[in-house]
RNA sequence: CGGGGUGUAGCGCAGUUUGGCUUAGCGCGCCUGCUUUGGGAGCAGGAGGCCGGAGGUUCAAAUCCUCUCACCCCGACCA
């Protein structure tokens, strides 16, 4: 495939100045990408080769589900976005620009508007569906803070698919096939991952999954159960708290009473002051909706309120109320004796607890011995908090495990949000005009490249999975100035080429150490080392990048080993 | 957008506090030659900079002042 003296690449011994995660540092050091501007990268030949292989896998898997590839424009007219309402909704993340005639455009961060417009023009009957269209395209998002190289770039490559169906059943079946498709893709990449239930947001459909690759430096957090198949986005996760007998309801607990707690306005100091664990304190938080209605949320003192869950529960947007509740004795608020006009919502974790402390709704005082059953009646109980270490799987008895990861895919049932706004209607078999039901399925192509490096590396460099390694084998000619070694290496290179093996030939006139280090840095799975042993004994040495396994073989055996290595039948 | 920081050779940095000791330096990389060749070689020679940009102060500015631009870190954001 390539002789290194003819190739365009360079590696770096030194760490780049501004790479704060190993994957990014390696992608620069291995010469895969070059930064052009903040969050904007150039793919060099080696990086592009890997990117192409990732795209190939995605295309193969998508095509096998029956999806059809299209290519939409990166530059999109504003009027479609105005129709969908997102021209206003989308913040400064949307790259907006004007043409010479002062017409508004944007660089697409996603393509719902374009594709829904296509659907509007082309889908007329239920007979035109189901349909699943995808593209691999450059996307733009003016990230507030691009970071970690191509893991979070402003210009990036994404595969996005959009499905169109006449009914929910067909949507479900495409959703399922996309779920399977994404799992297949990630498995072919040889990565550890979870498909977790994800937040659908306020507009969201019922169902959404994120595909998360495990990586220490990931920006997403997930929880999963080691005992069953349960896994979820940290934000979304269901859980049960460990039953703590000492906190559960006892008969004949004393009535609550007021204690003076001057200057104590936070859980930590209250816990210290009263010598009570944080679990025995009721934290009272106030949220407001857009009409400035105030809601009180009660959670256990050691837990954090999860606004995403709360919003989902109430079905409306909420934020912390600060100014609006100055009359409510912040720091001394509590459920017992609270202004009765405020609706109280209590986290499930408090159910049946007694002997709790909470604010007395009077500056400088808290109540103790509150019984959560007896002393207040919340408007509703619910799950309003994040899971914590020690919490139990909702489906079985195991303790949940927390891991960090990188989101590389997201599948989503859109429903009729866009088709209604953009008038993508079809005539159903019952003769009625209905909005097309849509789904969207994204997978970050360039982000996969970054995520793979982030998950699969060691102190020497990248360790590519075989499916996307830029080359399968690297011929390392020790001392290319030795004519015997050079002619042998040339011959071996030709032979590997003829066998259809993806081969890189390091024919540079540099010392062996340089070649070994570079080969390991750029992560070529197999090194084929040609030294004096070949002219003398007709043997070459093979070494695997993954585990350092070495073997000295005659040439034919070596070639057979290499050819068979990807199928796992090597000896 | 708020807070902080950095711009000096392709990359990584020193020099800036206290203006002149610099013809602006070091390491890596690059070019030439010789030696070397199984885990980032040695020697010798060399190329490469309007010190981010624009104004100012001064006899004199990489160094001081003003304004700009770019990049980075922390926070809020994230189909």
Does the pLDDT value for residue A202 go beyond 70?
no
CA-CA distance, A345 to A343, in Å (whole number)? Answer: 7
| Other CB atoms within 10 A of residue A527 CB | 20
* Mean pLDDT lowest among A49-53, A135-139, A252-256, A390-394: A252-256
* A159, β-bridge pairs: A136, A443
Same fold yes or no, A50-237+402-453 and A471-567: no
Q: How far is the CA of A146 from the C1' of B70 (A)?
A: 15
- Alpha helix (H) ranges present in A373-460? 417-421, 445-455
Q: Which of residues 322-361 of A touch strand B (CB under 7 A)?
A: none
Answer whether any strand B atom is within 7 A of the Cβ of A158: yes
Superfamily of domain A471-567: Anticodon-binding domain (3.40.50.800)
3-state SS, residue A215: coil
Q: Which of residues 11-30 of A touch strand B (CB under 7 A)?
A: 11-18, 20, 29
pLDDT band at A320 (very low <50, low <70, confident <90, very high): confident
CATH code for residues A245-382: 3.90.960.10
Answer whether any strand B atom is within 7 A of the Cβ of A10: yes
pLDDT digits 0-9 by tens, A209-231: 999 999 888 888 889 999 998 88
CB A50 within 8 A of CB A464: yes
CB A540 within 8 A of CB A530: yes
- Alpha helix (H) ranges present in A71-111? 78-84, 86-89
Mean confidence (pLDDT) of chain A = 90
CA-CA distance, A95 to A78, in Å (whole number)? Answer: 11
CA-CA distance, A358 to A377, in Å (whole number)? Answer: 15
Shortest CA to C1' contact from A141: nucleotide: B78
* Mean pLDDT lowest among A39-43, A163-167, A369-373, A441-445: A369-373
List Cβ<8 Å contacts ≥24 apart for A78-82: A78/A103, A78/A104, A78/A105, A78/A106, A80/A113, A80/A114, A80/A117, A80/A422, A81/A106, A81/A113
Does the pLDDT value for residue A246 go beyond 60?
no
* A365, β-bridge pairs: A260, A362
- Exposure string (b/e) for A316-344, b if CB count within 10 Å is 16 or more? eebeebeeebeebbbbbbbbbbbeeebeb
CA-CA distance, A269 to A272, in Å (whole number)? Answer: 5
3-state SS, residue A37: strand
Answer whether any strand B atom is within 7 A of the Cβ of A413: no
Map out the domains of chain A as residue ranges. 50-237+402-453, 245-382, 471-567
Q: What is the 3-state secondary structure (H, E, C) of A230-289?
A: CEEECCCCCCECCCCHHHECCCCCCCCEEEECCCCCCHHHHHHHHCCCHHHEEEEEEEEC
CA-CA distance, A192 to A505, in Å (whole number)? Answer: 31
Answer whether any strand B atom is within 7 A of the Cβ of A508: no
Length of chain A: 571
Answer whether any strand B atom is within 7 A of the Cβ of A467: no
Q: How far is the CA of A15 from the C1' of B55 (A)?
A: 37
* Mean pLDDT lowest among A19-33, A37-51, A321-335, A452-466: A321-335
Q: Which of residues 171-230 of A touch strand B (CB under 7 A)?
A: 201, 219
CA-CA distance, A499 to A560, in Å (whole number)? Answer: 10
Q: How far is the CA of A410 from the C1' of B14 (A)?
A: 48
pLDDT at res. A218: 84
Strand B: positions under 7 A of a protein C-beta atom: 1, 11-13, 27-29, 36-41, 70-79
Per-residue pLDDT averaged across A190-205, rounded?
Answer: 75
Chain centroid to Cα A398, Å, comes to: 25
CB A431 within 8 A of CB A248: no
Per-residue pLDDT averaged across A529-556, rounded?
Answer: 95
Q: Please tell me the class of the A50-237+402-453 domain.
A: alpha beta
pLDDT digits 0-9 by tens, A9-32: 899 998 888 888 899 999 999 999
The DSSP letter of residue A148 is T
């Amino acid at each position: 495939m390539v002789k290194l003296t003819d190739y365009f690449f360079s590696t770096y011994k030194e760490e780049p100045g501004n790479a704060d995660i190993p994957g990014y540092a390696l992608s620069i050091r291995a010469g895969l990408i070059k930064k052009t501007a903040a969050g904007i990268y150039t793919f060099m030949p080696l990086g592009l080769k890997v990117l192409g292989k990732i795209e190939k896998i995605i295309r193969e898997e998508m095509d096998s589900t029956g999806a059809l590839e299209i290519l939409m424009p990166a530059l999109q007219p504003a009027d479609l976005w105005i129709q969908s309402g997102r021209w206003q909704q989308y913040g400064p993340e949307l790259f907006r620009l004007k043409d010479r005639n002062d017409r508004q455009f944007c660089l697409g961060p996603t393509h719902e508007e374009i594709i829904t417009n296509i659907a509007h023009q082309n889908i007329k009957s239920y007979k035109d569906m189901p349909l699943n269209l995808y593209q691999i395209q450059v996307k733009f998002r003016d990230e507030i803070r691009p970071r970690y190289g191509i893991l979070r770039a402003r210009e990036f490559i994404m595969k996005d698919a959009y499905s169109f169906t006449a009914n929910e059943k067909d949507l479900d079946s495409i959703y399922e096939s996309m779920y399977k498709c994404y799992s297949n893709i990630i498995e072919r990449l040889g990565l550890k991952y979870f498909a977790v239930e994800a937040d659908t947001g306020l507009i969201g459909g019922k169902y959404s999954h994120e595909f998360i690759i495990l990586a220490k430096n990931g920006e997403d957090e997930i929880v999963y159960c080691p005992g069953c198949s349960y896994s979820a986005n940290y934000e979304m996760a269901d859980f049960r708290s460990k039953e703590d007998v000492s906190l559960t309801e006892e008969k004949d607990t004393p009535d609550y009473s007021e204690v003076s707690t001057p200057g104590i306005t936070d859980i930590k100091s209250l816990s210290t002051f009263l010598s009570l664990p944080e679990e025995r304190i009721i934290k009272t938080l106030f949220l407001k909706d857009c009409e400035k209605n105030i809601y009180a949320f009660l959670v256990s003192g050691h837990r954090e309120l999860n606004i995403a869950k709360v919003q989902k529960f109430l079905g409306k947007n909420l934020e912390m109320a600060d100014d609006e509740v100055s009359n409510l004795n912040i720091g001394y608020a509590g459920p017992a004796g609270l202004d009765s006009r405020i609706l109280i919502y209590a986290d499930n974790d408090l159910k049946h607890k007694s002997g709790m402390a909470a604010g007395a709704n009077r500056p400088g005082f808290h109540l103790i011995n509150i019984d959560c059953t007896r002393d207040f009646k919340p408007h509703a109980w619910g799950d309003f908090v994040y899971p914590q270490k020690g919490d139990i799987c909702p489906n079985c008895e195991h303790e949940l495990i927390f891991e960090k990861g990188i989101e590389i895919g997201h599948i989503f049932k859109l429903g009729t949000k866009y088709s209604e706004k953009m008038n993508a209607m079809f005539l159903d078999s019952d003769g009625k005009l209905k909005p097309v039901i849509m789904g969207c399925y994204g997978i970050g192509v360039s982000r996969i490249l970054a995520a793979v490096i982030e998950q699969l590396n060691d102190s020497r460099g990248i360790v590519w999975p075989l499916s996307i390694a830029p080359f399968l084998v690297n011929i390392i000619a020790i001392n290319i100035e030795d004519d015997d070694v050079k002619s042998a290496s040339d011959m071996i290179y030709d032979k590997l080429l003829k066998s259809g093996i993806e081969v890189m030939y390091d024919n540079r006139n540099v010392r062996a150490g340089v070649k070994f280090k570079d080969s390991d840095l750029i992560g070529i799975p197999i090194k084929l080392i040609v030294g004096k042993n070949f002219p003398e004994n007709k043997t070459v040495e093979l070494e695997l990048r993954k585990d350092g396994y070495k073997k000295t073989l005659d040439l034919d055996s070596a070639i057979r080993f290499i050819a068979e290595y990807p199928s796992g039948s090597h000896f």
